[in-house]
Amino acid sequence: MDENGRDGDSAFRAESYREHWPEMTYGGAVSFLRRRYTRDLAGVDVAVMGFPHDAAVTYRPGARLGPRAIRAASVQLAELKAFPFGFDPLTALAIVDRGDAMLDPHHPETVAPAIEAAAAEVLASGAKLLALGGDHFTAWPLIRAHAARHGPLALVQFDAHGDLWPDDPGRIDHGTMMGRAIREGLIDVDRSVQVGIRTFHDETMGLEVLTAPFVHREGVGRVIEIIRDRVGDAPVYVSFDIDILDPAFAPGTGTPVPGGLASWQVLELVQGLRGLDLVGMDLVEVAPPYDHAEITALAAAHVAYNWLCLLALKAGAAPLAVGRL
């Protein structure tokens, strides 16, 4: 118990959004980071929401189970202060788990509008959205909702694939939606970067593309410099496809590509976004049926947690460094 005699199941029992109680990591009600489950957005800084859709995949399905797996993998992160920041983002920010958007797979034409409407409702409240996918097609309606609020976005896309394949208006495909978003004017290509790419596209559509070999060769520090110079002060939407990681670090995904990044590289890259105008994030393509020992879901939970820590820093959380960083 804590000093107020509270413990367990804070996902349902917490009365405020910044409460952080002792929990058994291996038991109790599971929400993302043990945050309170609620649809009430009053006073909320960040709403975490699942978008369990995988009808757009081109190879292996299973990402509809991603939000559930990421939530389960987040339990240890709710136990201690954040590394390497040294503060507790769960008391620095009012974070809630809003559950999953209701998406009807039997009427696929309704899925994108439903995702966009769910995201728009969160954003209209003034809260930011951390979206857990689901396949990467979900990013298109999410980006539409964010661009409607913020204008054209600087996109920082972490991915093995550029997702710029030829498209048509009715296509539901997780490999075409970034090109569609660019053609719709939702993305400011002059401020946008793709990181970790290791599949071929005939064109970049104006995006700065930092391939996986470039990251390995030039190093994380150089990549962070390029991202920060490119983005500047623009509103930044982060789209994180878990397949940026090498299959050794993320086997549980629908389109694994060897030659990718290691977990430590992506965590440092995400931490390198500190201070930017981060307006939203999706984390997609976690497919638990192909995972082993939860390592893909664990990586996803850590990436999402680090993004929340960046928001906490922006909100004034004071970091405390211990050891050589």
Domain containing residue 229: CATH number: 3.40.800.10
Look up residue 222 and give its two tokens.
Answer: 């150089």
Residue 222 belongs to some domain of the structure = yes
Residue 320 belongs to some domain of the structure = no
Note whether 53 and 115 are within 8 A (CB).
Answer: yes
Least confident of 8-17, 55-64, 262-271: 8-17
Residue 325 belongs to some domain of the structure = no
Distance CA 26, CA 320 (A): 28
Residue 2 belongs to some domain of the structure = no
Which residue bears the tokens 């520090």?
Answer: 221
Residue 4 belongs to some domain of the structure = no
* pLDDT for residue 49: 98
- Say yes or no to pLDDT of 297 above 90: yes
Count up the domains in the chain and report the number: 1
**Cα dist from 268 to 29, 231, 252, 315, whole Å:** 30, 17, 21, 20
* pLDDT for residue 16: 86
**Cα dist from 31 to 51, 272, 306, whole Å:** 14, 27, 17
Mean pLDDT of 247-252: 98
Residue 204 CA, distance from chain mean position: 23
What percentage of the chain exceeds 70 in pLDDT? 98
Give the CA count within 13 Å in the CB-facing half-sphere of 57: 22
Greater confidence, 8 or 73?
73
Mean pLDDT of 169-182: 94
Domain encompassing residue 35: 10-314
Residue 123 belongs to some domain of the structure = yes
**Cα dist from 201 to 59, 137, 161, 176, 246, whole Å:** 18, 18, 9, 11, 19
Distance CA 167, CA 205 (A): 13
* Start-to-end CA span in the chain (Å): 32
* pLDDT for residue 232: 97
Least confident of 23-27, 126-130, 199-203, 235-239: 23-27
Note whether 11 and 36 are within 8 A (CB).
Answer: yes
Confidence of residue 249 (pLDDT cuts 50, 70, 90): very high
Question: pLDDT tens for residues 255-294?
Answer: 999 999 999 999 999 999 999 999 999 999 999 999 999 9
Greater confidence, 18 or 198?
198
pTM: 0.96
Mean pLDDT of 171-197: 97
Give the CA count within 13 Å in the CB-facing half-sphere of 35: 31
* pLDDT for residue 1: 64
Residue 172 belongs to some domain of the structure = yes
- Say yes or no to pLDDT of 142 above 70: yes
The CA dihedral of 285, 286, 288, 294, to the nearest 10 degrees, is: 160
Mean pLDDT of 55-73: 96
* pLDDT for residue 21: 77
Residue 15 belongs to some domain of the structure = yes
Distance CA 57, CA 53 (A): 9
- Say yes or no to pLDDT of 169 above 90: no
- Say yes or no to pLDDT of 325 above 70: no
Mean pLDDT of 50-60: 96
Least confident of 131-145, 189-203, 288-302, 307-321: 307-321
Confidence of residue 324 (pLDDT cuts 50, 70, 90): low
